[in-house]
Amino acid sequence: MAKVSIVMGSDSDMPVMAKAAQTLEELGIPCEMRIISAHREPDIFFDYAKTAKERGIKVIIAGAGMAAHLPGMCAALFPLPVIGIPMHTTSLGGRDSLYSIVQMPSGIPVATVAINGGVNAALLAAKILAVSDDALLSCLEDYSKKLMEQVKAKDERLQETGYAGYGK
């Protein structure tokens, strides 16, 4: 059964949201993914958000661009954590999305990651779940070790090749 729900208003958000799903899968966290427009199909959206807890969802990751209402509306209807991913937009580079998501009114919090931050949204969801799951916490610690090893390997390569030969 899914613990995290990933929702987006448009399939144009799929490349970013797929990174969130892949990261959750890598950590062994079951998730569901939906395309639901809060503006174009409000009844379907309301049903989705109001029944998420009953379906066993512990965290919602909601991606949105421009006016970016989806994360805030999820937070208004879903009583557990919501993580918003502001999408890059052509008009304002995603700043419009970012501002819309982080400027939620008092009482309706949405944790917000970087523009197009699908991986970090998944990691934040995992950390929220790991508060009560020692096995998941261990997976996250292993994930951090893997990141550290990748940086060490890159530095070793730099030391061997120098900056001029690094990219060749």
Residue 25: pLDDT band (50, 70, 90) is: very high
Do residues 43 and 108 both lie within one domain?
Answer: yes
Q: Residue 164: enclosing H or E segment and its boundaries?
A: helix 134-166
Whether the pLDDT of residue 24 is over 80: the answer is yes
Asked if 28 and 83 count as a contact pair (C-beta separation under 8 A), the reply is no
Mind listing the pLDDT tens digit for each residue in 94-125?
A: 999 999 999 999 999 999 999 999 999 999 99
Do residues 102 and 48 both lie within one domain?
Answer: yes
35-59 average pLDDT score: 96
Whether the pLDDT of residue 137 is over 80: the answer is yes
Do residues 32 and 68 both lie within one domain?
Answer: yes
Whether the pLDDT of residue 4 is over 90: the answer is yes
Backbone angles phi, psi at 16, to 5 degrees: -75, -45
DSSP of 122-153? HHHHHHHHHTT-HHHHHHHHHHHHHHHHHHHH
Average pLDDT, the chain: 96
Asked if 94 and 88 count as a contact pair (C-beta separation under 8 A), the reply is yes
Residue 67: pLDDT band (50, 70, 90) is: confident
Do residues 151 and 116 both lie within one domain?
Answer: no
Whether the pLDDT of residue 168 is over 80: the answer is no
Do residues 9 and 92 both lie within one domain?
Answer: yes
The Cα 148–Cα 127 span in angstroms is 18
Whether the pLDDT of residue 36 is over 90: the answer is yes
Domain residues for the domain of 157 are 134-168
Split into its structural domains, the chain has a count of 2
